[in-house]
Amino acid sequence: MYRTFTEHLKKWKNSKNRLPLLLRGARQTGKTWLVRNHAESYHDFFEINFEADPEYASLFKEKFGNPDELLRYYF
């Protein structure tokens, strides 16, 4: 399945000054498929699914209450 956003993700990946990626949209529109498909172009890929593993959501929120904290920790 090919989506228009596949090309947008390729451009994002190749950008020298790319920012963290955030995908938002309606349910059941292929966001997860898009990210997983795009992840195949990377050597490593790590996925956290808060719906499948809700116990991780509270741990994540305790450690990283806002996006700025998360970005400082990982970058």
Residue 12 CA to residue 19 CA, distance in Å, equals 8
Q: Can you give the length of the chain in residues? A: 75
Residue 73 CA to residue 38 CA, distance in Å, equals 24
pLDDT above 60 (res 1): no
Domain ranges of the chain: 1-44, 48-75
Span 22-41, pLDDT tens digits: 888 899 988 889 989 999 88
pLDDT above 90 (res 15): yes
